Structure 1
Amino acid sequence: MFGGAVSYVNAPRRTATYDVSSAFDALLSAEHPKDVLKHSRLLAARQEVNAEVERCTHTAPRFSQDGKVAVFKIKSEAQVHPVIATRWAGHLQSKALEIVMVANEGYLPGKVNFSCRVPRCAKARDPSVDIIQSLKAYASLKPVKDEDDDTDGGLPDQHEIPLLERLGDDFARGHVQASGGIVDVDQFEELMRLMRVGEKKEKKQGASPQKGKKPIDAGQSNKLTSYFGKKSA
């Protein structure tokens, strides 16, 4: 009962209207935890949040190039990103996966609110996963230069300073296994580029061909036409 009451009390602040006053009023008027479960506004808020969680949960993830971070991008005016991150952390499984990140582009104008959780499959890793240190490590990386870019000019001045130094105190805050932050949209996209989200892992040079497949010799003379073509007179 107490767990259900907590869920009801938390629901209004997660709605798009951030209705914390309803939760406060419900607590003041309640004489028993079961009274909270009967409060009409809390019930409506819980239904609203549950519907929004369900709508956004089915977003497909994209992964960092190293496979350690699964990124879900959603757009919601409700504070559902922490709930969805926790939900996916209990389901995603991978040997490389260390962090589940849910980024909400619709909660605050011009900002990205994101929540990170350690997936269940990585809970027993040794050394243990530290989300805060991992996020800071990604934000400290230097941008990968495009191979097609042969210009001598450098990046704009603001990009010469590592992203981590420009993000401020709202980045990678909280607990080492339940972190998150609030950053500008362009800064979040820069972080995604540093993490190389959506990029396939580079193949090692000199890797042997797949088993059972021989490399094709472009200069070989035996071709189908030599067997079925007309012989010259």
Structure 2
Amino acid sequence: MVKRSASSEASSPPKRRRRSSTTSLKEVSTLSHAAREYGPQWNDWPAPAPAMEDARSFIRDIVDNKRSVLIVPDKDADGLSAGTLLYRTLIHMKHPPSLISVHHLTKGNNVHSDYERDVMDSSRAEKVVVLDQGSRPGRSLVPPLPDQKGKRVLIIDHHLSDEWPQGSQVLTACRSSPIATAALLTYLLLRDLHEKVHEKEAWRAVVGVIGDLGTTVPKWGTPPWPSELGAVFKKLGSKAFSEAVSGVNAPRRTAEYNVPKAWDIMLDARSPSELASNAFLKLCKLDVADETAKWARTPPRFAKDGRVAVCTVHTGFQIHPVIATRWSGTLGRKSSKLLMVMCANTGFHADGRVSFSCRIASNLRALPEGQQPNLIALLNEYADRIPGFKDRVGGDYARGHKEATGGIIPRAEYDLLLEEMGVPQPGSSTKSEPNVSVSSPSPKKLKSKVIDPKQAGGGLDKFFKVQTKPKVE
């Protein structure tokens, strides 16, 4: 559903006017922010300089000509940070709120689905900006309006792709290493369009970076990471940012999937501490934590070649990415063969489709980027052995990043994929990979239960016997 600014009902759109010679929008240097801070060798970071300037021109055109715009952000901390950065920048540039609309995708859908295309087109917005949604080839996300000049759609993204919808203007960070998150890319795109973007909104970029990369990957103050964002991180505190990320991520993980409320809360916030202390986000976090604890001990099953471990859960909560990440840490330290951990959720979609998330084994993250396994290629390797598989599953398979990917496929196709991998079906008896001792991920988060140390080193069936802590009176 397209959501318009609260003020749009009360006022009619102003008449369009052309930019006058006295318009005081700040002109941008020909050098990127990274090049100005670290040298010209970084001029194409976080994205090629020509594409950055073209995207700025797209945004300037919206403001200068008072065009209606639809913002379509992804649902996670990075996507919501990028979207609110754009919204706030437009407001700082005096763009009327009545001309800004926001659309959040429905649960289980992607921006390329026919339903979402129809909703976006029905908004009749002159310009559409899609942030952090991934990409694939095909027809335009929305058709051009009658007599429209220039592109109607701007895609801002960082997911690995060389293919894009027809008729779209694209700004991607996926080929500029180290790959920036969508929020960081958006911040550096907008930073010089108005001084308040840096003064008031820089914290949003940090939330997005931590949401995708954590607190240790970005090396603030070393090329090409902006030192000014490091200063923001230090000033506002690691704890506030970490809690803000977990808070704003929580609503989209619940069965209710109240992403619009998460957006409203983040849009109105003026600091990460406001997100961290928000009561609604805290309640969502508790619900997600309870559901995660319920499924966190689901035993993984290994592929016949030892390269993949798979665990399957059945819940309406979007916790499969969290469980995949946890097991990647636990199993990655114990297996020399393991490349990827997959968590599949057979209960997330009402129509029976299976959502799955894949994460690189944690011990492999320390390798140089060129030596890390490509999980998209690994999934495609298995898929290529199944006749007709890729044609049947379409574009919702193996999308995202090399080290963090996933998909949404029919249950029958998921079963074929497990069969090709040599992974036993849930419910069948199995053993752990030879020479791998498995322990439960993040046991500190499961405070009411502990693993019996006497079971360490046994098979999965024995290992996952749970011992309850005695209550302390």
CA deviation vs aligned residue, 1:165-194 (integer Å, no higher than 9, x gap): 322100000001100000000000011111
- Aligned residue type for 1:185: R
- Aligned residue type for 1:184: P
Q: Determine the structure 2 residue equivalent to 1:114.
A: 356
- The alignment status of 1:169 with 2:169, answered yes or no, reads no
Which moved further from structure 2: 83-92 or 162-171?
Answer: 162-171
Distance in structure 1 (CA, Å) of the matches to 2:270 and 2:359:
36
- Identical pairs, percent: 41
- The alignment status of 1:32 with 2:271, answered yes or no, reads yes
Q: Determine the structure 1 residue equivalent to 2:378.
A: 134
Which residue of the other structure, out of 407, 415, 434, is the alignment partner of 1:189? Answer: 415
Question: How far has the Cα of 1:39 moved from its partner?
Answer: 1.7
Which residue of the other structure, out of 59, 84, 88, is the alignment partner of 2:323? Answer: 84
- Aligned residue type for 2:348: Y
Question: How far has the Cα of 1:22 moved from its partner?
Answer: 2.1
- Aligned residue type for 2:408: I
Q: Determine the structure 1 residue equivalent to 2:51.
A: none
Q: Determine the structure 1 residue equivalent to 2:176.
A: none
Identify which of structures 1 and 2 has the higher relative contact order when contacts are C-alpha pairs closer than 8 Å and 6+ apart: 1
- Aligned residue type for 1:140: D
- The alignment status of 1:97 with 2:341, answered yes or no, reads no
Secondary structure in structure 2 of the residue aligned to 1:172:
strand
Distance in structure 2 (CA, Å) of the matches to 1:59 and 1:104:
12
- The alignment status of 1:7 with 2:246, answered yes or no, reads yes
Distance in structure 2 (CA, Å) of the matches to 1:30 and 1:162:
48
8 Å contact from structure 1 (residues 89, 117) kept in 2: yes
- Aligned residue type for 2:412: D
- Aligned residue type for 1:6: V
Q: Determine the structure 1 residue equivalent to 2:307.
A: 68
Question: How far has the Cα of 1:15 moved from its partner?
Answer: 0.6
Change (3 A) 1:128 1:39: closer
- Aligned residue type for 2:377: Q
Secondary structure in structure 2 of the residue aligned to 1:3:
helix
Distance in structure 2 (CA, Å) of the matches to 1:28 and 1:177:
30
Secondary structure in structure 1 of the residue aligned to 2:255:
coil
Distance in structure 2 (CA, Å) of the matches to 1:118 and 1:112:
20
8 Å contact from structure 1 (residues 61, 70) kept in 2: yes
8 Å contact from structure 1 (residues 97, 122) kept in 2: no
Secondary structure in structure 2 of the residue aligned to 1:181:
strand
Question: How far has the Cα of 1:25 moved from its partner?
Answer: 2.6
Distance in structure 1 (CA, Å) of the matches to 2:313 and 2:373:
24
TM-score, normalised with respect to structure 2: 0.37
Change (3 A) 1:38 1:133: same
Give the RMSD, CA atoms, in angstroms.
Answer: 1.8
Structure exhibiting the larger radius of gyration computed from Cα positions: 1
Q: Determine the structure 1 residue equivalent to 2:175.
A: none
- Aligned residue type for 1:116: C
Question: How far has the Cα of 1:127 moved from its partner?
Answer: 4.0
Distance in structure 2 (CA, Å) of the matches to 1:31 and 1:68:
45
- The alignment status of 1:50 with 2:294, answered yes or no, reads no
Q: Determine the structure 1 residue equivalent to 2:168.
A: none
Secondary structure in structure 2 of the residue aligned to 1:97:
coil
CA deviation vs aligned residue, 1:18-59 (integer Å, no higher than 9, x gap): 011221232244343322222211110011111111111100
TM-score, normalised with respect to structure 1: 0.73
8 Å contact from structure 1 (residues 141, 162) kept in 2: no
Q: Determine the structure 1 residue equivalent to 2:434.
A: none
8 Å contact from structure 1 (residues 103, 113) kept in 2: yes
Secondary structure in structure 2 of the residue aligned to 1:137:
helix
Question: How far has the Cα of 1:112 moved from its partner?
Answer: 0.4
Distance in structure 1 (CA, Å) of the matches to 2:395 and 2:244:
33
Unmatched runs of 5 consecutive residues or more in structure 2: 1-239, 425-429, 432-473
Secondary structure in structure 2 of the residue aligned to 1:91:
helix
8 Å contact from structure 1 (residues 115, 178) kept in 2: yes
Question: How far has the Cα of 1:6 moved from its partner?
Answer: 1.7
Which moved further from structure 2: 171-180 or 133-142?
Answer: 133-142
